[in-house]
Chains A and B, each alone.
Chain A
Amino acid sequence: MPSAPPPSAPPPPVVEPPPPLGSWARFYLLVAVIHVVVVALLIAFSSAYRVTEPR
């Protein structure tokens, strides 16, 4: 079994440049918008069934 390269050095870079943010930006926006809608629905649900006793 050949010996492994010295592990003290950090591993070599992988040739995988990050894709431009623009190609993902719309998807991130979609995730954020869907989440905001879900939170808004939960807020509406929460206040619809909250009971405030009259003083």
Chain B
Amino acid sequence: MRTIDWIVCIGFLVYMVWTGLRRGREAKSLEGYYAGNRRIPWWAAGLSVMGTQISAITILGLTSQAHESGMGFVQTYFGLPFAMIVLSIFMVPMYRSRMLLTAYEYLEGRFGPATRAIASIIFLVSRCLAIGVSLYTASVVLSAMLGLPPWSAIAIIATLATLYTVVAGIVGVVWTDVRQMAIIGIGLIATLAILLHDLLPHFGFGRLLELAGAADKLDAVSVQPESTAFVPRTLAEVATGSGTQSFWEQKYNLWAGLFGGLFLHMAYFGCDFSQAQRMLTSSTMHESRLALLLSAFAKVPMQACILFIGVLIWMFYAVDGGPMLFRPHHVALAQQPEYAPRIAEIQQRYDAAAMRRRELMLELATLPTISADNPQLAAYRSAVREVATLRVEARRTFGDPSKEAGQDVNYIFCRYAFDHLPPVVLGLVIAAIFAAAIASSAAEINALSAATIVDLYRRWFARRRDERHYLVAGRVATFVWGAFAAVSASVFAGGGSVIETINMIGSFFYGSLLGIFALAALVRRASAWAGAIGLLLGMATVFTVHNTLKVEFLWYNVIGCIAVLAFGWLVSWFEPRRAAAATATG
């Protein structure tokens, strides 16, 4: 990076951390530390909801995923606005009915302390697994692209996030999220403008879309599922290659996005406390609802824009001649005598295929219209596939194909940014990636600290202490979770598309959490045993399905939620009536 980019990047990060730190005076009690004294305006809480979800993963993972396989991922968000409406109607009144500091406190009033503790522990486990993955993505930028060791990048992000979260709590988190959203908006709009500036001299905008579409990059919505067989295959059948592919195996289509996505987002925004915390920070129920509905309006168009940037990067490389290997580690391996001859041979074929793709693309750009039976179009599509196949072949040279094949994905956006963005803009974009990583880690650390102190420490281990004691304990817990995040980031650093990994980790747990809140709202007779047993059996069902059937992770949320409701309802019939009546009013 150039000096000016360093100045822009570091300058913004200092400003962001200072913004968080100076809010520390507002955190003089647990109310201030975990609920922002319930004085945060709806638009800031709404931007914070979006900012917590837009981590470095969103920028790195989505753009790279669109580069590789098109815009289909946008379908995952199709259920989100409906989820926000359902949460607004049912969850906001639940959370605003008492002066709660965590979402799981509500469950104690409804099902008793055991269910509250189980739900809180499920959140702590799922979030502490995911926090390592999300922290790792930003370390990809520093370690791989700046030549720093991975631990140093992880340490910087975790330190900055922990610093202002320890001091200012949720207020610091929310107001830094607002800055994060601003820098992400500026960075992405600048990148989009630069890509269009570079591409439009070669094609008109309409032709650019046609050529990207011909390469299957604009296939955003798949209305017709690949299979309409609704009986899922077992993993044994998948291993032996028998049975037919079922509806539940397709990762992205309209129906998985609408229904699987609806449950995923209801669970994530409503029951994952790193998000649900925002519903507790506004002054009124009205403001809490507006904060949620901001995402309902903005999320899908914004994700579509981020994915479109990934498509434009693909187009840019198709014209400019992109690298065969994006990951610096692979580039270094390719120089070693062990791999060099094989890589050189693949590189030769890759260069020829990439050149053929470019020529065909530019030829097609000059035609007045492109018909589906045009032979040049078929040749172009064939060249596109050949280039993609050669990239996979090159990566497989380095070892285990199942692992290595996916490991290029998260480096594509960074490679483009470092090689082609002009001064200042690169600094802004790298600052946006850092800010996203820091801000979402801070939100997670604060929520983990709240669940630890309010649901476990204050509830079970240290009752009747004064407010100062709990505030100090909250700050210590925040610090410990920050340190844990840094350590787990090193441990969980893995391959594949990280955004999918995060959603998959969440899907293991979130459906069951949603189920317990749904049980509270829908089954009046359900009480302590129904809540606790329903929750545990719901989790067990998801793990059983995961280990026996071939079902995509988005559906785990639906399965977990329905299983908790079903088991909870069943158990409620065996509970003593008096207990049910007593707790139902609780």
Contact = CB atoms under 8 A, between A and B. Distances in A.
B212 interface: yes
Contacts of A1: 466-468
A18 B93 contact: yes
A10 B586 contact: yes
Given A18-B285, A19-B286, A49-B212, A42 B297 contact: no
B293 interface: yes
Contact of B105 (A10, A38, A47): A10
Interface string A28-42: 100110110011001
Given A8-B459, A54-B373, A43 B221 contact: yes
Interface string A5-35: 0111011111010110100100110011011
A10 B98 contact: yes
B301 A38 contact: yes
Given A4-B470, A34-B297, A28 B88 contact: yes
Nearest to B370: A51
A1 B378 CA distance: 78
Contacts of B488: none
Contacts of B377: 51
Contact of B213 (A2, A16, A49): A49
A16 B88 CA distance: 15
A38 B470 CA distance: 46
B466 A35 contact: no
Contact of A51 (B100, B289, B381): B381
Contacts of A50: 213, 216, 218-219
A24 B296 CA distance: 15
A16 B96 contact: yes
B98 A12 contact: yes
Interface in B181-227: 209-210, 212-214, 216, 218-223
A4 B262 CA distance: 40
Interface residues of B, number: 59
Nearest to A44: B221
B14 interface: no
A22 B157 CA distance: 45
Contacts of A11: 98-101, 105
Interface string B71-85: 100100010011011
A2 B254 CA distance: 56
A14 B378 CA distance: 66
B214 A51 contact: yes
B81 A32 contact: yes
A14 to B, nearest CB: 6
Contacts of B286: 19
- Identify which of A19, A24, A51 gathers the most chain B CB atoms within 10 Å of its CB: A51
A46 B296 contact: no
B458 interface: yes
B285 A10 contact: no
B578 interface: no
A49 to B, nearest CB: 3
A4 B84 contact: no
B93 to A, nearest CB: 4
B372 A52 contact: yes
Nearest to A53: B378
Given A1-B468, A14-B97, A14-B98, A45 B378 contact: no
A5 B439 CA distance: 33
Contact of B293 (A12, A14, A27, A45): A27
Nearest to A51: B214
Contacts of A38: 300-301
A44 to B, nearest CB: 9
Contacts of B74: 42
Contacts of B297: 31, 34
B295 to A, nearest CB: 10
B82 A32 contact: yes
Contacts of B372: 51-54
Nearest to B84: A31
B246 to A, nearest CB: 24
A27 B209 CA distance: 34
B99 A14 contact: yes
B98 A13 contact: yes
A24 B289 contact: yes
Given A6-B463, A28-B88, 7 more contacts: A2-B466, A4-B467, A11-B99, A24-B289, A46-B71, A49-B212, A54-B372
8 contacts: A4-B464, A6-B463, A7-B463, A7-B464, A8-B113, A10-B108, A16-B284, A43-B254
Interface of B: 71, 74, 78, 81-82, 84-85, 88-89, 92-93, 96-101, 105, 108-109, 113, 209-210, 212-214, 216, 218-223, 254, 284-286, 289, 293, 296-297, 300-301, 304, 372-373, 377-378, 381, 458-459, 463-468, 470, 586
The 6 A-B residue pairs with the shortest CB-CB distance, nearest first, are: A49-B213, A10-B109, A35-B81, A18-B93, A46-B220, A49-B218
